[in-house]
Structure 1
Amino acid sequence: MRKLLLALGLLTAARGAHAQAAAPLTARLDQVSLTVALGADGRPTYAVSYGTKSVIKPSRLGLSFADGKGFEGPLELAGSDTKDVDETWTPVWGEVKTIRNHYRQLTVHLRQPAAPGRLLDVVFRVFADGVGFRYEFPAQPNLGYFTVQDEHTEFNLPANHKAFWIPGDYDSNEYAYTTSRLSEVNTTPIEAIQQKADPKRVQTPLMLKSDNGLYVNIHEAALVNYPAMFLNVDTQTFGLRSQLVPDATGTGAKAYLQAPEHTPWRTVVVADNAPAILSSKLILNLNEPSKVAETGWIQPQKFVGVWWEMHVNRASWNYADVSNIKLDNTDWNALKPNGHHGATTAHVKEYIDFAARHHIPGVLVEGWNVGWEDWANNWKENVFDFVTPYPDFNVDELQRYAAGKGVKLIMHHETSSSVTNYERRQDAAYRFMKQHGYDAVKTGYVGRIIPRGEHHDGQWMVNHYVRTAQLTADNKIMVDMHEAVRPTGLHRTYPNWLANEAARGNEFNAWSSGNPPEHETILPFTRLMGGPMDYTPGIFQIKLDDWNPERNKGKQVHTTLAKQLALYVTMYSPLQMAADLPEAYEKHLDAFQFIEDVPVDWDDTRVLAAEPGDYLTTLRRAKGKDEWYLGAITDENARKQRLKLDFLTPGQRYEATIYADGPGADWQKNPMAYRISKQVVTSKSSLTLQLAPGGGAAVSFKPVKR
């Protein structure tokens, strides 16, 4: 039985301009302890420990308002409340069948001792694997509309931890991770899309590893009506200070609020082993329950699509090779086609046929709609209307053809970051989708945001993403957002919001320096802490110059083929793309069988082995079935792993199909070497997996019929 302990001390109220030091408030659940104190200067602080080890040293809390009457301090205690919650809830889809939400809550009521005497609550929830807290602004006479100028939340760390980080760019998360000590954080050498601020600024989720055996993850939960939180690193003291994304006014304003209101939760997940970090449901538990009443139409799924061929220079999004065109004054039928447009009726039918043959429910089509000739990097307002197809894309014919094959087309809405244009047209776009049989959409936000001056991760755009989740839910449409703010568990509240990109995905292997072999071993500890990622795995043609020798010379995906299969298990998403071209899969249908078989919705998930930046082995049980699927991946180093199969049902025999790196496999020298073997196993059996450099293994376990 877990031990619950709550010790409440008495904080002495502030008198005059300054407060007196007082006994702290403390709350504990299992090994996680929280301490909240009010210093002699009247500034509140908090601290977190795990057993006897410090996780967060005393760290400042507070906010500044534009009117100069915020909660920087001094403050005094107006009271406190506690409650215990222990409940279980069932997600619409997910990694496990049910989730336990068990925490002890401590609410600290603060007030300003001087006029205007405003009130602030800080709500803490202590879980067995960490702490979440947020600021709440109660309804009160002296606080109506207000502007948050800065948030002074700190996370003061006890030592110079190892950190896995990317630059604090307000407009992009698409960076390879740097692994360094906190003292070595410096984003200056990294070419950033937007790098105006402190070179010591990094993004969350920030993964940390201490020298005394603790793993710590810092992020946020339930990001709504507020800008995303970044972290400024003090490389001398190892303190982290919150940095909110500013708005477009140039005044430094961060958030425009009206009481009663609250901020997102700030989260600290902690454990003494890496797998426990990945198993945490703390962030998800801090989000509100589903706002979608009827969810039967929400269907996790796999899909193929007209997409990767554009990245490997086999096709184009645009229909014609022209520029400087206007959306509403162009005769699209009069344009001369370029001959390599990907989204043609005939070509999409080929994808539909492949999907139908291999039981893939969805087909994504990018480049189907007019406007791609003149869309990128122009900061242009009216780029797309989201309802007008190119002359060679027959919407009605493809609707009938897909329906006849039992396949659903997935819509693509690239906004070109002209978000005001998209919001004006969303109602019409979603009506068009429903009229033509689309019930899922992939949105994109490439480029600089319009309204001009706003950022991808600012309050204005955060509200747009949430509005889009709600609007698509109202229309019974599932949504996958690319180039959006990193997720914070809102898929619990909006279960139609199946996935995000919001990180450096597989596509970077096609047109950049690529993703290093360690990349996929870090992402689950960072980006995926907040929610599923549309990483687009499943690339089989690893050497990309086979597609276009002239334009792809020397380019390749930085994994083995077997590792691409393993990613379907290790990189969780209820929306998984088989990203390569059908012709690449046709050459390796024996390996494609794993993609065809692997589910996207699960009853159980277990992380068997993990170390950020090194390796990861994940095991999952299919929803409603006695079938298990395992994925194991490694960085640039070869590894051997022995696995006990005691998770299998005792007395039941299973056929294990093992998709492994072949002899001599290596992500650089021989990435496409793989071998497939089968053997009958039981709960008493074991397997030994040999992972090549940059490689992996995927295994399916299916019951043998008696």
Structure 2
Amino acid sequence: MSRQRFAPHLALLALSLTSSVAAAQRSRQYQLLSPDGTNQITVEVGDRVSYAVAHRGRPVLQASPISLTLEGGRTLGTAERVRSEARRQVRDSVRPVAPVKSAVVADRFNELRLRLGDHDLELRAYDEGIAYRWVLAIGDSVTVRSEQASFAVAGESEALVGIDTTFMTHYEPVYHRVKLDTLAHGRHALLPALIALQGGPKIAITESQLEDYAGMYLVARDGGGLAGEFPRAALEERARNDRDVVVTRRADWLARTSGRRALPWRIVMIADEDRQLLLNQMVYDLAAPSRLSDVSWIKPGKVSWDWFNNLNLRGVSFRAGVNDDTYRYFIDFAAKNGIPYIILDEGWYKLGDLLTQAPGIDVPALVQYGASKHVGIILWTTWSTLDTQLKPALDQFEKWGVKGIKVDFMQRDDQKVVNYYYRIAREAAARHLLVDYHGAHKPAGLNRTWPNVLTFEGVHGLENNKWTDDVTPTHNVTLPFTRMLAGPMDYTPGAMLNAQPKNFRAIFDRPMSVGTRVHQLAMYVVFESPLQMLADSPSEYEREPEAMEWLRAVPVLWDETRALDGAAGSHVLLARRHGTEWFVGAMTNTSARTLTLDLSFLGAGRWTMDAWSDGINADRNGMDFKRETRTVSAGDKLTLTLAPGGGWAGRFKR
């Protein structure tokens, strides 16, 4: 090469080096450690904004760009300069209205807030993970065209996720183990997504304080890892019927919202062992505080539910079905067993009109009858009909003395429908009505902000046994490490007809569950829901006095939780305290399993243990179980023998 030809290359190299040096000078790094020092966030601000996460010195997320593109072409997160930084340490606690893990939630984190002009980037490092969000001070309103939320997972990894191909979703997946790059070509992961780093910790990605915005999903990211994907705003809709409202045209933006607000938190939970995830309460802690000053009327409890069992009753003198006689029977059953609520599910009103009761139903009379026996009524409704008749319907429910509503079939989490959840919660609270969302997206903190919202479905739960065989024991022991990380989960347990897989049949009118009887009983400890269903028929429960002894005793709220053992998709062993009593639940997948229950969590002295365990023939007959009582102490270690698809349930009292 001649000197003349070489000179331009030297000039180009010099220019490149100069640009690199200038870029490096423009970029600045900021670090934030968790209170215990195990989790570290490194933020780089310059031509772009990115964050990286390390756990015990090992990279968990590599540099992951984040940005927010607004209408008009402005992008927050590019060509940024830090105007100021603010740090704080918080060592506080929160007391939930309806505690599902503990009476006190630790509010313990270190925070870094970077002022970038008319917007901030706020980051928090917890001992259990990290979170970040954008905080806007731009003006009265903004239109968010897109959000770049990336998670550049470090090294080889495998995800355990529910997958969908549309934004019209009940959030009811069966979970699959997949490589991250398979989440492409129209396939996206529902949150929370659990990711195992090869030879390293587990991380779970989800969100909190989702309000006036679109919900987040995850897809494969160019260059590796995952990126957020969001449903665009609905411009046109079409109602197929009284419940399915489909979006026929979407905008090219995902949210029009206040320009003076904080956007949702992006959360990365981190755990060395799967069982540590069972104690993670970051979603609740990061949610907006309660907007209710008086919560004394909010009464969680168990519910006798009609729809799963198809209102099947035996030995009665009336035709069982959607009628007053049947619901009085449900009320009598609930009263006898200390169950504070029953639900009137689909059929009590003329579909499409909440103000017209079905023939044979007199809700005010049922409410009065229930009140005489200290049993409240919760009414089911489709979301679309409730939306149309919101104030007159809720006013009517309040006048009748109804205690709550079960709102079904939203199936979306675009901005409009997310706002619907908040509107219903607010209007229900104004009338002292509890709320249970079905056909719902995953929880994202709403139950803290509006604590009358007690639970959410958003799970492939027991009802699916009426038409499919994929609600397996393996699925059931996956849920605590995935879906339940987001918040309360209305799985609706309690089937009394139980079968091993080869004997299972999906029968709509007389449904059963896959797995053993005690697998179902243990769910009342393992699965968190302040409004917990008894899904089977009163007739089935009345034939099972030993099972009902457990179902009467087990609480729905917990003062303390100990995660004793567990692995996603394998097994789970939890101990929970309510007052002075402890309850233990163990569940296994389709493999028989022996677990050791170390009773050191008990206090000093002797304890009476009431235990329900798989029977010796439970591997053939899922309904076989054994009930025993014995005296134990904190120094004891018990061997729990679980059948395939089995479980163990125990109550410890002085």
Provide the TM-score with structure 1 as the length reference: 0.83
1:618 offset after TM fit, Å? 0.9
Alignment of 1:538-557 (within 5 A): 538-542=494-498, 556-557=512-513
Corresponding residue SS for 1:391 = coil
TM-superposition CA deviations, 1:388-444 (whole Å, max 9, x none): 2112012232122212222111111123xx2xx423412222222222221111111
Structure 2 equivalent of residue 203 of structure 1 = 190
Counterpart code for 2:152: N
Counterpart code for 1:697: W
Ranges in structure 2 where 5+ consecutive residues have no aligned partner? 1-18, 236-249
* Structure 1 position 219 matched with structure 2 position 206: yes
Structure 2 equivalent of residue 92 of structure 1 = 97
Structure 1 equivalent of residue 44 of structure 2 = 37
Q: Check 1:17–1:255 CA distance in 2 against 1; reply closer, same or farther (3 A cut).
A: farther
Contact 1:19/1:76 (CA < 8 Å) preserved in 2? no
CA distance in 1, matches of 2:533, 2:395: 25
* Structure 1 position 398 matched with structure 2 position 366: yes
Corresponding residue SS for 1:591 = helix
Structure 1 equivalent of residue 652 of structure 2 = 701
Corresponding residue SS for 2:329 = helix
Counterpart code for 2:293: A
Instruction: Kindly tell me the number of residue pairs found equivalent between the two proteins.
Output: 611
CA distance in 1, matches of 2:500, 2:508: 6
CA distance in 1, matches of 2:228, 2:268: 13
CA distance in 1, matches of 2:229, 2:498: 40
Alignment of 1:625-704 (within 5 A): 625-651=579-605, 653-666=606-619, 669-703=620-654
Structure 1 equivalent of residue 227 of structure 2 = 241
Contact 2:465/2:506 (CA < 8 Å) preserved in 1? no
Identity of aligned residues (%): 29
Counterpart code for 1:348: Y
Structure 1, 607-616 or 171-180: larger mean CA deviation: 171-180
Structure 2 equivalent of residue 105 of structure 1 = 111
1:183 offset after TM fit, Å? 4.2
Structure 2 equivalent of residue 189 of structure 1 = none
Corresponding residue SS for 2:477 = helix
Contact 2:499/2:515 (CA < 8 Å) preserved in 1? no
Corresponding residue SS for 1:387 = strand
1:371 offset after TM fit, Å? 2.9
* Structure 1 position 468 matched with structure 2 position 454: no
1:171 maps to which of 153, 168, 188: 168
Counterpart code for 1:431: D
1:268 offset after TM fit, Å? 0.5
Structure 1 equivalent of residue 7 of structure 2 = none
Contact 2:200/2:272 (CA < 8 Å) preserved in 1? yes
Counterpart code for 2:279: S
Corresponding residue SS for 1:121 = strand
Q: Check 1:144–1:435 CA distance in 2 against 1; reply closer, same or farther (3 A cut).
A: closer
Q: Check 1:24–1:359 CA distance in 2 against 1; reply closer, same or farther (3 A cut).
A: same
CA distance in 1, matches of 2:186, 2:623: 39
Q: Check 1:414–1:437 CA distance in 2 against 1; reply closer, same or farther (3 A cut).
A: same
Counterpart code for 2:195: L
1:410 maps to which of 367, 373, 378: 378
Structure 2 equivalent of residue 479 of structure 1 = 435
CA distance in 1, matches of 2:538, 2:476: 24
Q: Check 1:590–1:149 CA distance in 2 against 1; reply closer, same or farther (3 A cut).
A: same
1:591 offset after TM fit, Å? 1.4
CA distance in 1, matches of 2:340, 2:421: 26
Corresponding residue SS for 1:288 = coil
TM-superposition CA deviations, 1:639-660 (whole Å, max 9, x none): 1011111111112x21111111
Alignment of 1:317-466 (within 5 A): 342-372=321-351, 383=352, 385-415=353-383, 418=384, 421-445=385-409, 456-466=412-422
Structure 2 equivalent of residue 151 of structure 1 = 147
1:598 offset after TM fit, Å? 0.1
TM-superposition CA deviations, 1:471-500 (whole Å, max 9, x none): 111111110000122101221221111000
Corresponding residue SS for 1:131 = strand
TM-superposition CA deviations, 1:178-236 (whole Å, max 9, x none): 123324556xxxxxxxxxxx3342111001112223011100011011000111124x8
Structure 1, 554-563 or 152-161: larger mean CA deviation: 554-563
Contact 1:167/1:201 (CA < 8 Å) preserved in 2? yes
Corresponding residue SS for 1:469 = helix
Contact 2:85/2:114 (CA < 8 Å) preserved in 1? yes
CA distance in 2, matches of 1:440, 1:354: 19
CA distance in 2, matches of 1:544, 1:348: 32
Structure that is richer in helix per residue? 2
1:621 maps to which of 551, 574, 577: 577
Structure 1 equivalent of residue 291 of structure 2 = 291
Structure that is richer in strand per residue? 2
Structure 2 equivalent of residue 114 of structure 1 = none
Corresponding residue SS for 1:507 = helix
Q: Check 1:199–1:343 CA distance in 2 against 1; reply closer, same or farther (3 A cut).
A: same
Counterpart code for 2:286: L
CA distance in 2, matches of 1:17, 1:256: 36
Corresponding residue SS for 1:606 = strand
* Structure 1 position 583 matched with structure 2 position 590: no
What do you get for the CA RMSD once the two structures are aligned? 2.5
Counterpart code for 2:233: D
CA distance in 2, matches of 1:155, 1:346: 55
Structure 1, 562-571 or 393-402: larger mean CA deviation: 393-402
Counterpart code for 1:24: Q
* Structure 1 position 50 matched with structure 2 position 55: yes
Structure 2 equivalent of residue 125 of structure 1 = 124
TM-superposition CA deviations, 1:81-116 (whole Å, max 9, x none): 1111111221112121112211111111224xxxxx
Corresponding residue SS for 1:61 = strand
* Structure 1 position 160 matched with structure 2 position 147: no
TM-superposition CA deviations, 1:94-153 (whole Å, max 9, x none): 121112211111111224xxxxxxx32110011111111101111x4xx44321111111
Contact 2:180/2:226 (CA < 8 Å) preserved in 1? no
Contact 2:94/2:104 (CA < 8 Å) preserved in 1? yes
CA distance in 2, matches of 1:357, 1:647: 33
Structure 2 equivalent of residue 180 of structure 1 = 178
CA distance in 1, matches of 2:500, 2:331: 24
Ranges in structure 1 where 5+ consecutive residues have no aligned partner? 1-13, 112-118, 187-197, 316-338, 373-382, 447-454
CA distance in 2, matches of 1:221, 1:38: 24
CA distance in 2, matches of 1:554, 1:176: 23
